[in-house]
Amino acid sequence: MSLSKESKLTRFSWLRHPRHYLFFKVFAWFWLTIIGTFTALFFLSNISLINAISHDPLKGPMQKNLEHLARGIERSAHKHKRSIHDIITNPRLSKRKLLYLNSLSSDEFLISKKVENNIDFSLLNFSEGMPPQIIFTEYYQAFGPVRIRVPEGEFALYEIDINQQRPLFIRLRLLPVWLKISIAIIASLTLSFLFSRNLIAPINSLKQAAIRLSNGDLSARATINSQRKDELGVLGRDFNRMADQLEQLLSAQKRLLADISHELRSPLTRLKMATGLAQMQASEASQSYLLRIEKEANQLDKMIADVLQVSRLEANSQPLSLQAQSLQVIVDHVINDAQFEAKQHNKTLHIQGDAEVNIECDEMLIASALENILRNAIKYAQHTISITLKHSDIITIQICDDGPGVPAAQLDKLCEPFFRQSDARDRVSGGTGLGLAIAKNAVIAHGGNLALSNKDAGGLCVEISLPIQKRDHVL
């Protein structure tokens, strides 16, 4: 029973707080647009319109009554020999109706009773040759004309209804068509624009924040008014809470990785010292095992150093020793070492272009990035590694191999720490998965960019872009 009550309360909660729901806002803005349009029409309808006239064909009972009245006037004039003036001013007739007769053969006109001076019946003259109409003017409505023939001549008969307060629908009816259309368009466009802006702004903010978050910017947040209580406001605040938790989780993960790596160094150092002492006292048969322990300890030490470097680079806490120097010197030093390693594997390096330009950089960090990329290329190349150097507004270093390449779905993941392709899980071919992560973060720390792509003919290309102009680094 309580669940049923809660369900009903949730279902009708929008009735208690309608402004907290987007449905109500859409509904309210729709009606506001309609009300705003009619309000604008009402305001403009109060502006005096000189000689404004509108008309529609007269049909139905009103037309029959007017024609019956005309025949009655004709009978009375012919049968009883009464003047047209006496007939229409008869109290029985003039008390109920205001009649206007306009002579078709002269300028004479007759009115059944006195009216205000500002009422101009000459506006009806345009309709003399037309079938019966209902004619709207600013001060009265007229029904007619119906032709009557009496001994005094031929007249056009109109029945007049004086507008005491000029009803709204008549004032609106008298507005020009172009003005009514313009008001409707302007009012609806203005209100729809304001509503659309109010609706789309938080959606666009959410979209931009989601894009930045997906690109790795963990500080991205949606700009949502804290006073907004509808579904979009709730969604925006939920998104920001999710982003806060995601940032905290990833930051905690990076800190944990860095802390563990740092703490591992102490026992690892003691292990290496103990291995060295054991080698001094061990027999010849045990030396091979101790050498194996030393090798694995060194490998572990290097891995921990790489993890710490990645953690510091991702956290922007890696101190940069910036100095202005020629990039070509750094590249030559790295390539000389790479050529020696490539020869050991019967592979060749082809170099095009040059990097004879001075930049402000951390030599050790840039050299480490290039070395990691080249070693990766040498490892997976079949025969050739090509290196292309260009510089204009920026420096471009492209390193390509002729290996099997990488599935397109995995390109974006190659620079993630510890990521390795499923077919390269063993340490000999797969490595630790930290080399490209270090390279990318080192390039980003210098204000550059690292992009991965597959060659059409097969093989992986890594393109590094570095700015030439001097940059300020605050770490």
Q: What is the DSSP string of 210-258?
A: HHHHHTT-TT------TT--SHHHHHHHHHHHHHHHHHHHHHHHHHHHH
pLDDT at 424: 44
Does the pLDDT value for residue 48 go beyond 50? no
Q: Are 157 and 69 in contact (CB under 8 A)?
A: yes
395 or 262: which leads in pLDDT: 395
* Mean per-residue pLDDT over the chain, rounded: 76
| pLDDT on residue 428 | 47
- Phi, psi torsion values for 110, nearest 5 degrees: -130, 145
Distance in angstroms (rounded) separating the CA atoms of residues 410 and 396: 23
Helix (H) or strand (E) holding 276: helix 231-281
Q: Shortest CA distance to 455 belongs to which of 411, 414, 402? A: 402
Check whether 46 has a pLDDT greater than 70.
no
How many Å apart are CA 259 and CA 475, to the nearest integer?
A: 20
**pLDDT at residue 330 tops 80:** yes
Please report which residue ranges of 282-393 form alpha helices under DSSP H. 284-314, 327-344, 363-380
State the pLDDT at residue 2: 46
E strand or H helix at 5 = helix 2-11
First vs last Cα of the chain: how many Å apart?
A: 61
Average pLDDT over residues 75-93: 82
Q: What average pLDDT does this structure show over 222-249?
A: 82
* In contact, 221 and 247? CB cutoff 8 Å: no
Predicted confidence at residue 426, as pLDDT, reads: 44
Catalytic pick from 17, 85, 262, 345?
A: 262
Model confidence pLDDT, tens digit, residues 403-451: 888 887 777 777 776 666 654 434 444 455 677 877 888 888 888 888 8
Higher pLDDT, 228 or 209: 209
Q: CA-CA distance, 247 to 245, in Å (whole number)?
A: 5
88-to-83, 150, 175 alpha-carbon distances in Å:
9, 13, 33
Q: Which residue has the higher pLDDT, 3 or 291?
A: 291
pLDDT at 308 over 70: no
b/e map 168-198, b = 16+ CB within 10 Å: eebbeebbeeeebeebbeebeeebeeebeee
pLDDT score recorded for residue 17: 59
Most confident of 101-110, 163-172, 422-431: 101-110
Return the pLDDT at 26: 66
The domains of the chain, with CATH numbers, are 53-174 (3.30.450.210), 231-314 (1.10.287.130), 323-467 (3.30.565.10)
Residue in the structure block whose two tokens are 């997976």:
380
Q: 10 Å Cβ neighbour count for 230?
A: 20
Q: What is the pLDDT of residue 422?
A: 52
Which residue, among 97, 80, 79, has the nearest Cα to 88 in the 3D structure? 97
- Quote the pLDDT of residue 410: 79
- pLDDT score recorded for residue 427: 45
pLDDT bracket for residue 175 (50, 70, 90):
low
Assess whether 80 carries a catalytic annotation. Answer: no
Q: Tell which wins on pLDDT, 231 or 309.
A: 231
**How confident is the model at residue 335, as a pLDDT?**
87
Q: Give the pLDDT of residue 25.
A: 64
Residue 216 scores a pLDDT above 80:
no
Side chain identity at 129, as an amino acid letter? G
Q: Is the pLDDT of residue 305 over 80?
A: no
**Hey, what's the torsion of the CAs at 37, 40, 41, 43, to 10 degrees?**
160
Is the model more confident about 426 or about 382?
Answer: 382
At 234, the pLDDT band (50, 70, 90 cuts) reads confident
Asked whether the predicted pLDDT for residue 27 surpasses 60, the reply is: yes
More confident residue, 348 or 225: 348
Q: Most confidently modeled of 165-174, 243-252, 332-341?
A: 332-341
Element (H, E) at 438: helix 435-445
Top-confidence residue, 183 or 50:
183
Q: Is 434 helix (H, G, I), strand (E, B) or coil?
A: coil
Residue 334 CA to residue 213 CA, distance in Å, equals: 35
CA distances from 132 to 72, 145, 161, 205 (A): 17, 5, 15, 62
Eight-state DSSP code of residue 390: E
